[in-house]
Structure 1
């Protein structure tokens, strides 16, 4: 017993003297290059932790086997615990600021990932290539946490990773804004029939799917590492006290008791299966990014359709009483031809499948995942289609019908001839939709019915229609019954 106390005192004094004589740089005044060198250097080649652990374990194991049969074991445990805390003390001061250290390193690595280029095509390629780089860096941080802290700094690492992924998504959005402006510029320059912008947007959607798939895989990897390094330490100490092995181990690396309890709570929840994900917020951010990219792609393909419907309500045909000098009030609707604006819309929609199919019908898992987490406009979130192309067609068709209805309701006056012409245009669009395997919307169907209804029957039919539609069509047709 006396020998053990003398040994403890000697080692304690030796470590204390060594700590005093060692110059530990203040992290607050350290340069980013030093922080990076410190945290990556130890993990890659400076095997400080294994040496400390080996030395400390050499003290703990024989002591625990000895103290279990001694009446004064409490005193012995206190001595060894103090001794081990002293062994780890110089290193623990750095791990206290692990989150800051890791944030600096991850930020520096992220800055080295190029995302932007003058050409849109090259930018899209860079975004795609960035996914593997992003998660390779994150995986290195994951392994680094094991090497530097035996997993005890995972709470700090998770916070650093959240900032890391958030900053990446922020940069992704910045690049997306630049691409959007370049696409608008090409449209202003007259490249309306150029489908390359839409194809670029579909590739970015695929990149979003890759991000979501990678974050799921990385999340599982982090959880596996946490459980592998700490999951088995949730039992009581072999020395007989109520302090868990996890708390005992964590106290060597973490100064604050609150941090130790937070770590224990995390490991316990994972052990009990209550926390299926530790990077939920990161995935949610990437899902929001996917939704924004889907909206961006939709806006690109919808821009031309929207252009064809601009100023629809101001067309002279609606107030015309004849076509080519002939009275047409008594002519049947089928004798009229659809106008150019609606035929262009129909032709454009008929070409959509050939531009969607290369990306949507090749079992592209990334596109499917991105679509699952990135809602398209004018679609129901619960809708699941066998092929993503079907959902895209439905989204664009519903958007077209919605805008078409809104423009129709802006018409101030509609003569008998104008009414027949509008019905002809609507029928043409419905035929195109039918060819694509789609149905007309309720709004378009209601407007069509109100346009077909005779003035005598209008009041009865209008009672069962949305009042906004009924009042607008009544006003433009000048029905005062």
Structure 2
């Protein structure tokens, strides 16, 4: 029957089962016999299954009654257990109620017992309070500070025990009385110990003052004792010595004081805060004495700036040394800031007056700039010297401002130096006028040389202004590298809030001043450059005075019979010789001269030689002058028109020989002059209308 085990499978397929058995070898002869046999076998299998089910049912029925009995027994036991649990809960509640009453009774009795103990102890302490006071009075009469310390500790503990007893306020007053009495008794020892620097005795005193709750008063005494000593030291130094050595020696004494007291303060007070506070209080009390002493030295000093710089550097170095000696992570920054303020505070009055001193110094410097009725060579030498001194003056002024005021008045100094440079530009303006006071009718090559030298000095000034702007511009404040980097530490923290006050306003003023400054420089440069051109054109103007086309020849001569007139040949010869005068001056110009020429005239920035550019500019001016002269001619005959055309052509040939292209307007005038009268109106189409009209009027041609 094992073939039918798969009938109970979940995926059993009847059709598949039948087809499988019908395809077997035995079923090929008679399928009905095969099916009948298969059915018989299935019936037998069903009977066996039914028999197995019946047997299992009988077994289940026989065991069911026993299972029910066991379940009933479990339920019975459960009910008994629940009853016991309920009884136990009631018993616990009863026990808890009884215990709570007993515990409350015990706690009440314990509280009464403790109160009785406290009362008994208080009565004992109260009895001993008077005894301890008597003993303490006897010890104090004997000036025994150590004995009084022990008795005071007992009295202090007694006070704590009696704090709930009546009369506590009176006992507190008594305790405070003995604190004061012990402090008074120990005061002479305090002065002696701090004066001698005995660390062991100072520690004992510190313990005593801690016990009597007067440790803060001990610190005050320490500062007062040493502050008075330091003040007396200053008085002795200032009375017996003179000069800046007094400040140096006093600062050295303060540094020695720190070294002597550092170990004592660390042991007695656990840090060096008391040293810092002592120095701060001493320097604050000495502020007006130091100010008065420094002011007297300043009045006697040969160089007030040098004295202030020396004093400021001395203060800064002292502050730096102090911060290195006692700077500690455990020291609060506010304490160090207070010390730094005390070091520098006396110097504030000199810092406040510093801008006035610089203004007076700048006024004297500006006064020395001006020159009157001097030889041109001396004037050039004077300006050259002042250019060099101006750079030194700028650097020295800003260095003084940084050292003396720690940048506090950097804005004012910056603007003041701007005004100084502006005034210096005004000197150049006056000088260029002096070089042209006496105009002459012939070219003066020396005067040309002076103006070119003046132009070069303006280039040096432009370089100075650029240097000034790059290094000291407020938009890009002074680099801290100009200051000793060590001095940029805590020493300068006190001043940070005073730097660049009203910065936005200052930058606005500086930007406006910059535009005025460069405008003034460009204006003077343009004038000097114009003077150079004017000097060169002077001879040209004289030659053009010889122009004369008033002759009225009417003979129509061929062009080959005309030769250039003398005025234009003189102009040509002058132009041909001009480069040899300019090249030594402008062929290889200095960087300063090149920069100012480019600054004033864009044409010089085209990469050509300065002499060539100047020649082109001169030719442009000559061309304008020539055209103006032609415009001034009232009338031109046929002969005169041909002569003028020949003159213009000669002028153009001279320019071409110099490598300069003739100007288009002059070329058009030459062409218009050569046009036949009867064809003028037709041939002149496309030419400059203004020039066409001008030549038509000169040649008396009727417009159509």
TM over 0.5, shorter chain: yes
Equivalent residue, structure 2, for 1:111: 367
Between the aligned partners of 1:414 and 1:479, the Cα distance in structure 2 is 10
Shift of 1:96: 4.0
Unaligned 5+ segments in structure 1 are: 28-32, 68-75, 239-244, 267-274
The residue aligned with 2:596 is 370
Q: Distance in 1 between matches of 2:300 and 2:431?
A: 31
Mapped contact 2:652–2:662 kept (Cα < 8 A) = yes
Where do 5+ consecutive residues of structure 2 fail to align? 1-215, 220-268
The one of 340, 355, 358 equivalent to 1:84 is 340
Residue 256 of structure 1: how far off its partner (Å): 7.6
Bigger mean CA deviation after superposition, 141-150 or 423-432: 141-150
| Residue 39 (structure 1) aligns with | 305
* Offset of residue 363 of structure 1: 5.1
Q: Which moved more, 1:157-166 or 1:359-368?
A: 359-368
Cα shift at 1:221: 5.1
Task: Measure the CA separation in 2 of the matches of 1:24 and 1:475.
Answer: 89
Change (3 A) 1:131 1:115: farther
Q: How far is 1:281 from its partner?
A: 6.3
Task: Tell me, yes or no, if the aligned pair for 1:451 and 1:473 is still in contact at 8 Å.
Answer: yes
Quote the residue 1:332 is aligned against. Answer: 558
Choose which of 106, 121, 124 in structure 1 pairs with 2:380: 124
| Residue equivalent to 2:647 | 425
Whether the aligned pair in 1 keeps the contact of 2:277 and 2:335 (CA below 8 Å) is no
Q: CA separation in 2, counterparts of 1:255 and 1:365? A: 37
Q: Does 1:195 align with 2:445?
A: yes
Deviates more, 1:280-289 or 1:170-179: 280-289
Larger helix proportion of the pair: 2
Counterpart residue number, 2:534: 299
Partner of 1:475: 697
User: 1:393-472, aligned counterparts within 5 Å?
Assistant: 393-472=615-694
Give the conservation status (yes or no) of the 8 Å contact 2:552–2:640. yes
Question: Contact 1:103/1:163 (CA < 8 Å) preserved in 2?
Answer: no
Instruction: Using the TM superposition, name which of 145-154 and 126-135 deviates more.
Output: 145-154
The answer (yes or no) to whether the contact 1:103–1:164 under 8 Å persists in 2 is: no
User: How far did residue 101 of structure 1 move?
Assistant: 2.9
- Partner SS, residue 66 of structure 1: coil
Are residues 20 and 144 of structure 1, via their aligned partners in 2, closer, same or farther at CA, if it must alter by over 3 Å? closer
Shift of 1:417: 1.1
Q: How far did 1:459 drift?
A: 2.7
| Structure 2 residue 424 is the aligned partner of structure 1 residue 168 | yes
Matched residues in 1 for 2:521 and 2:611: separation? Answer: 22
User: Which residue among 146, 156, 162 is the counterpart of 2:412?
Assistant: 156
Q: Tell me if structure 1 keeps the 8 A contact 2:597–2:604.
A: no
Q: Which structure exhibits the higher relative contact order, with contacts defined as CA atoms closer than 8 Å and separated by 6 or more residues? A: 1
Q: Which residue of 1 aligns with 2:583?
A: 357
Q: Which residue, 308, 317, 321 being the options, matches 2:552?
A: 321
Identify which range, 381-390 or 414-423, moves more after superposition: 381-390
Residues 1:133 and 2:415 aligned together: no
> In the TM superposition, what whole-angstrom CA distance separates every residue of 1:354-401 from its partner, at most 9, and x where no partner exists?
1111112245333222222222xxxx5475243111011101111000
In the superposition, relative to structure 1, how do residues 304 and 406 fare at CA in structure 2: closer, same or farther (>3 Å)?
same
Per the TM alignment, residue 59 of structure 1 is displaced from its structure 2 partner at its CA by: 5.7
Give the counterpart of 2:614 among 389, 392, 413. 392
8 Å CA contact 2:552–2:639 kept in 1: the answer is yes
* Closer/same/farther in 2, CA of residues 128 and 334 from structure 1, 3 Å limit: farther
**CA distance, structure 2, for counterparts of residue 359 and residue 311 of structure 1:** 30
Determine the C-alpha separation between the residues in 1 that align with 2:428 and 2:302.
24
Structure with bigger gyration radius: 2
TM-score (norm 2): 0.53
Q: Which secondary structure state, in structure 1, belongs to the residue aligned with residue 677 of structure 2?
A: coil
The structural deviation recorded for 1:89 is 2.8
